[in-house]
Chains A and B, each alone.
Chain A
Amino acid sequence: MNQNYIFFIFVLLWFASCIDQIPVNVKEDDSEYLIVQAALKDNEDQQIVNITSNSPDATDFQANFPVNDALVYVLKDNSQRFDFRNVDDRGNYGQTLSLNTGSFYQLVIEYKGVRYESTHEELLEPVPVGELKTRVTNELVNNAAGNVVEREVINVLTDINLPVDEEIYLRYRIDGTYEYREIGTPSNLNPVTCYVDEIIDLNNLAIISNTGLEGGNIQNKLILTRAPDYRYSYNYCMHISQDRISKEAYEFWRLVENEFNRTGDIFEAPPGIIRGNINETGPSDIGCIGVFSVAAVSTKDFHILPSAVNNPRPRCQPFPAPPPTCTNCLLLPKSTLTKPECF
């Protein structure tokens, strides 16, 4: 829609418009932020908090610097304290902590004399994952040569009926495992099948809320779009994790989603700092960006069969010469010969 809107503006202005790239020459900006990732889950015992800081040098976009000298702890119901210790030198702090439904948790960080506190996050009751389904559609994308081409995509959708008497905020995380079948060759007389895990939701943001809706029935909510390829040529198992999160955490992800959808429209709200729910408690030159959440996780596995996605061609074919993984599928990262439960 946004691209079309810009196109409309082009037409309105007699095709006298264009988008091109210009060099960024932001003056040195001394704004420094702690960047905190702290998503605690009730289905994990080992919880991790990651703390880094941004690059204050605005002219290059270096990776964030790990912060390894902060004091990090979580308060449970304002009474129990769980100290998180460094587990590596990449800014990761860990602690064994089982979350309890109905309890409130607060993350506290002390760094360079400043105390940062999160909002109090309650672990809520999990919500069952709704019905999952796929729909194959076509979309326009730029190919490697920069031309607009049409391609087929798989849309993973959910229908979910949420209670109407309380506000519910959900975020989806999705992993996948696919079958990868070797082919028989003179050097591989006994081809086997591998099961390969992969991260498929890099930069995918799927969040749902029932606020502002008439009733709690949400239909055809898109949670993932993928281009089908050889991974879907046999059987594909998607692992859907549905986190029930707080409103504050949801707001953080909603603003991030908006940020990724910018088009430069002059009526677009200007960008700003997406702070999240962790704030410094007093004046400080170092702000904080990030989110602390405690999630009640529900999971569901979902199979996509080749027939649902127009039978993609397997990667391993006798001709032309197959890649080495077609005779030794364990060369694939995260592959195993052990059949996972979902298969």
Chain B
Amino acid sequence: MKTSFLLLFTLIFANPIYGQIEYEEAKQVLEKAFNVQIHCPKKFQPSQVALLENVSDHSLEENMDALLNNTTLVFFKYNEGHIIIGPENIIEGEIKEVSVKAENELLRENEPQFESYAVGDPQNIVKVGEHEIKLYIYDDNLKDGLIGVTAIVQESDQASITDEIGIVELSLGTGNYLIDINYLGYLSKTIQLNVFGPGRVEIALSKEAVTLEEVTISASAGQNSITREEIGLEALSAREIKRVPALMGEADVIKSLLLLPGVSTVGEGSSGINIRGGSVDQNLILQDGIPLFNASHVLGLFSLFNPDVVQSIELYKGSLPARFGGRVASVMDVELKEGDFTRWKGTGGLGLISSRLTFEGPIIPEKVSLLLGGRFSFSDYIFSSIRVAEIRESRANFYDGNAKLTFRLGSKGKLKLSAYNSYDRFKFDDNFDFNWRTTAGSANFNYVFNPGTSLIVKSSYSNYLSELIDPTVGSSFSYSNGISNFKLKPYLQLNDFLTLNAFAGLEINHYNIASGSIAPLTDESSQTEFDLDPQKGLEVAAFIDLTKNLSDYISLTAGLRYSQFRNLGPGEIKIYEEGEERIRENVQDIKTVGNNKVLKFFDAFEPRTSLKVITSPISSLKMSFNITNQYISQLFNTTSVTPVDLWYASNTYVDPIRAFNYSLGYFLSLDENKWENSLEVFYRDIKNTIEYKDIAELFLNPFVETELLNAIGRAYGVEFSIKKNIGRITGRLSYTYSRTESKTQGIFPRERINNNNWFPSNYDRPHDLSLISTLQITQRSYASVNFVYSSGRPVSAPTGNISVGNVRNIPVYGSRNNFRIPDYHRMDFSYTVEQSHKKDQKWRSSWTFSVYNLYGRRNAFSVFFTQKPFQSPVANRLSILARPIPSLTYNFNF
């Protein structure tokens, strides 16, 4: 059926094609017919191409479309009379530029002129093994290191990108190499590198003379999983995110991450993700370095990140570098784009429930750029049109906005200022009204002292506020809580420092947690005003990451993070009767601590190590061991976090979470890096994780510590992934088997969950499989399909019932999480048609048709139990998104 479907679309959108002929022959026919010159590097030329039957009856564009049909090549017109053809699979889909020089090099393909560099000592040639080669790539004019420049070794397809100060590392044996260097907005170049031994060379890149629209020819694979130092690091580009079939056509960062191995969620419509058995609050989510405390819109249906402003995402789920801290499970580092320094342009989209628009361009050309992006929902019209009064008065809307100013400070410095604001409202008639807001800003400064030394200072402020309004007449109230964070993180990045690469610096985080306040909404309300004491915390950490190549095949990264946490007053320390259950009635004394005095102090060393062994040119073995500490957690005993769930700082009663993370992985690249395969195993041993007593009451509870249990946890699993990077069909198959369990160590009955035996956590889903595949149907249309499957998550089910007095059939729940809801599986589909890739087109657009839940699987959102008198309990499955949901999205850029 799928094949037929694709075929149908292909027929609709493609011209009739007659005959397959040699490329050279077709080229000559078209050059003669249209008086143009067609250029394509030999290494990209297809052997056979299609040619329309009567060439002159069709336009040049139609002929070119037909010529490149069934290839991954695209074309654009350059000046009068030139057609450039390049490989589609190395073309950035959204920001499309290419330098004149790059084009000219394509035009002069037979006249290669390479700059030549030498590295190592020609008088003392090291003939054995591979050498560590560092290329410092900088702006020829500004003398500023360039971040994100791609370097590809033609002979081996080894590829890598420059880091924050412009350094790219390669491992090459003695010999001569051709290296392609590409960077957006700069003239690409190919250099000849003569390697005699380890060392460093400096390479200048010049800005392109004229900017052309349309395409960028850049690296296809970048640094791959074989050569990357980290284990368990997943990187996604904006393009990959946009190719994933999305709910209601809304490309979504979090939904894309869920297709990666080791990443799961408790269900659709739930906030947050679980990574390698961690709870949602154990992930550090950074947007341009700013910590975010709630990353979801509409109670989790969409994420906070606007895909149009996202540059890249890195998800650290295995080895966590020491420069990241504060969470035990993972780090999700979302980097936003900088505004374009040369010209103004925009991108946007219209969807069924929301729209988005982004502008970017130079405030001062080459000096200061601005990026502005925003999204807003307009779903209220759906509710307004429904006759049911309660629904008509309901609301579910959101907006978010990003602004980013980037200053180039001379040749060595860069300052980036960013601001972010998001707002959500989720109201149901007069029953309840949730709203939550994130306001954040950052100032990040980079300064390159010399190619080996740079200073990075990141500072940010992030504030999350949530409110719940219950307008019930007579008892109406407004409840609010929140958390704000100020962060300062100065650090040095050193390359070739005593033959090491290093990151070293400090990180200071100050937290201010509004623990919750409730107030009557009206004078008639019986609700009394009540505030819980705020919480304050100061987390200070010093860190160092050192990476050294021990040999040509082995590199070691050793890091250490030393962190301190001070829970600061004002506050109270309740002294509970020793040897008795921690309940409100057993409070013996209460000590009051003044403002900014230390209520409780913690400190910890957090070693971070990883080892990479290149086992062959196409494979590597990596392992890591990390200890991570977490000093603030979120309290929630529901399946999914709500917007008003409280952040809670480690204190006298709750110790910091401490996790011991072990990872081991084998990475294999096949067919010249077209296929990336990996097998990883992990084990996490968790001390001091928080569990909850049965039916814990967390809402505005001044004795909330009486509901919490210090438990231990463990998570372990194996992840398997096959990824195809290049070709008409690309995609990824991932499978994870993992378990996540907790164990209480209580003495008193209410403190012993499942009699102190191991029990599965709420998000324990042993089997998790995902498949995403994209088929490039023509050069301007592609179809994507993804399939996901995971085990049902555990819930507590009654194992009997009791009657007490006149109340019959009170369910008796046995072990916690003794039942699993049905397994989850779903297939989605999307088809995208883009406009023809022509250089002179100002307005470009695409249509995406997608179907979420293609076969209408009734996946369980939750299962709850009801019981009628004298009958057995009944399990009720609440399903959402239980039918195929089609959508159509119009995307554009200009």
Tell whether, in the assembled complex, residue A205 and residue B807 are in contact, meaning their CB atoms are under 8 Å apart.
Answer: yes
Q: Which residues of B from 850 to 879 have beta carbons under 8 Å from A? A: 853, 858, 860-866, 869, 872-879
Tell whether, in the assembled complex, residue B695 and residue A271 are in contact, meaning their CB atoms are under 8 Å apart.
Answer: yes
Tell whether, in the assembled complex, residue A17 and residue B818 are in contact, meaning their CB atoms are under 8 Å apart.
Answer: no
- Interface centre among B755, B802, B805, B875, by most chain A C-beta atoms within 10 angstroms, is B802
B21 at the interface (CB under 8 A from A): no
A214 at the interface (CB under 8 A from B): yes
Query: Which one, A7-15, A132-140, A225-233, A307-315, is touching chain B?
Result: A7-15
Measured CA separation A259–B799 after assembly (Å): 15
Tell whether, in the assembled complex, residue B876 and residue A264 are in contact, meaning their CB atoms are under 8 Å apart.
Answer: yes
Tell whether, in the assembled complex, residue A262 and residue B864 are in contact, meaning their CB atoms are under 8 Å apart.
Answer: yes
Known contacts A16-B881, A61-B801, A259-B811; A22/B695 CB under 8 A: no
Q: Smallest CB–CB gap between B667 and chain A, Å?
A: 37
Query: Which one, B121-129, B560-568, B633-641, is touching chain A?
Result: B633-641
Measured CA separation A287–B800 after assembly (Å): 14
Tell whether, in the assembled complex, residue B431 and residue A5 are in contact, meaning their CB atoms are under 8 Å apart.
Answer: yes
Q: Which of B796, B800, B809, B865 contacts A272 (CB 8 A)?
A: B796
Q: Which residues of chain A come closer than 8 Å to B805, judged between CB atoms?
A: 37, 39, 173
Measured CA separation A12–B429 after assembly (Å): 13
Q: Which residues of chain A come closer than 8 Å to B59, judged between CB atoms?
A: none
Tell whether, in the assembled complex, residue A55 and residue B695 are in contact, meaning their CB atoms are under 8 Å apart.
Answer: no
A291 at the interface (CB under 8 A from B): yes
Q: Which residues of chain B come closer than 8 Å to A285, judged between CB atoms?
A: 755
Known contacts A19-B876, A270-B637, A275-B749; A58/B800 CB under 8 A: yes
Measured CA separation A52–B811 after assembly (Å): 14
Tell whether, in the assembled complex, residue A273 and residue B694 are in contact, meaning their CB atoms are under 8 Å apart.
Answer: yes
Q: Would you give the 0/1 interface string for B801-814, flagging 1 where the beta carbon is closer than 8 Å to chain A?
A: 11111111111111
Tell whether, in the assembled complex, residue A259 and residue B810 are in contact, meaning their CB atoms are under 8 Å apart.
Answer: yes
- Write the chain A residue with the least CB distance to B853: A16
B592 at the interface (CB under 8 A from A): no
A190 at the interface (CB under 8 A from B): no
Q: Smallest CB–CB gap between A83 and chain B, Å?
A: 23
Q: Which residues of B from 219 to 274 have beta carbons under 8 Å from A? A: 266-267, 269-270
B350 at the interface (CB under 8 A from A): no
B199 at the interface (CB under 8 A from A): no
Q: Which residues of chain A come closer than 8 Å to B878, judged between CB atoms?
A: 6, 17-19, 264
Q: Would you give the 0/1 interface string for A73-115, flagging 1 where the beta carbon is closer than 8 Å to chain B?
A: 0000000000000000000000000000000000000000000
Measured CA separation A274–B429 after assembly (Å): 32
A196 at the interface (CB under 8 A from B): no
Tell whether, in the assembled complex, residue A20 and residue B695 are in contact, meaning their CB atoms are under 8 Å apart.
Answer: no
Measured CA separation A1–B431 after assembly (Å): 7
Query: Which one, B388-396, B716-724, B728-736, is touching chain A?
Result: B388-396
Known contacts A16-B883, A61-B872; A271/B811 CB under 8 A: yes
Q: Which residues of chain B come closer than 8 Å to A55, judged between CB atoms?
A: 799-800
Tell whether, in the assembled complex, residue B750 and residue A24 are in contact, meaning their CB atoms are under 8 Å apart.
Answer: no
Known contacts A23-B875, A264-B862; A8/B811 CB under 8 A: no
Q: Which residues of chain A come closer than 8 Å to B814, judged between CB atoms?
A: 26, 29-31, 58, 273
Q: Smallest CB–CB gap between A297 and chain B, Å?
A: 13
Measured CA separation A30–B818 after assembly (Å): 11
Q: Which of A17, A27, A56, A264 contacts B864 (CB 8 A)?
A: A264
A321 at the interface (CB under 8 A from B): no
Q: Which residues of chain A come closer than 8 Å to B474, judged between CB atoms?
A: 219
B508 at the interface (CB under 8 A from A): no
Q: Which of B694, B762, B806 contacts A204 (CB 8 A)?
A: B806
Q: Which of A13, A31, A271 contacts B880 (CB 8 A)?
A: A13
Tell whether, in the assembled complex, residue A272 and residue B642 are in contact, meaning their CB atoms are under 8 Å apart.
Answer: no
Known contacts A266-B639, A272-B813, A285-B755; A17/B882 CB under 8 A: yes
Q: Which of A33, A201, A270, A287 contacts B639 (CB 8 A)?
A: A270
Tell whether, in the assembled complex, residue A20 and residue B876 are in contact, meaning their CB atoms are under 8 Å apart.
Answer: yes
- Write the chain B residue with the least CB distance to A212: B528
- Write the chain B residue with the least CB distance to A255: B695
Q: Which residues of B contact A (CB under 8 A)?
A: 266-267, 269-270, 298, 379, 382-383, 386, 388, 390-391, 394, 396, 428-429, 431-432, 474, 526-528, 637-640, 642, 693-696, 748-750, 754-755, 762, 795-816, 818-819, 822, 853, 858, 860-866, 869, 872-883, 885
Q: Which residues of A contact B (CB under 8 A)?
A: 1, 4-27, 29-31, 33, 35, 37, 39, 52, 54-56, 58, 60-62, 64, 173, 199, 201-205, 212-215, 219, 253, 255-256, 258-259, 262-275, 279-280, 285, 287-291
Other A-B pairs, 20, CB within 8 Å; known A9-B880, A17-B882, A264-B864: A13-B269, A13-B881, A14-B885, A21-B875, A22-B875, A27-B818, A29-B818, A31-B754, A35-B802, A55-B799, A61-B800, A201-B806, A213-B526, A215-B526, A256-B810, A265-B862, A267-B640, A272-B796, A274-B810, A287-B749
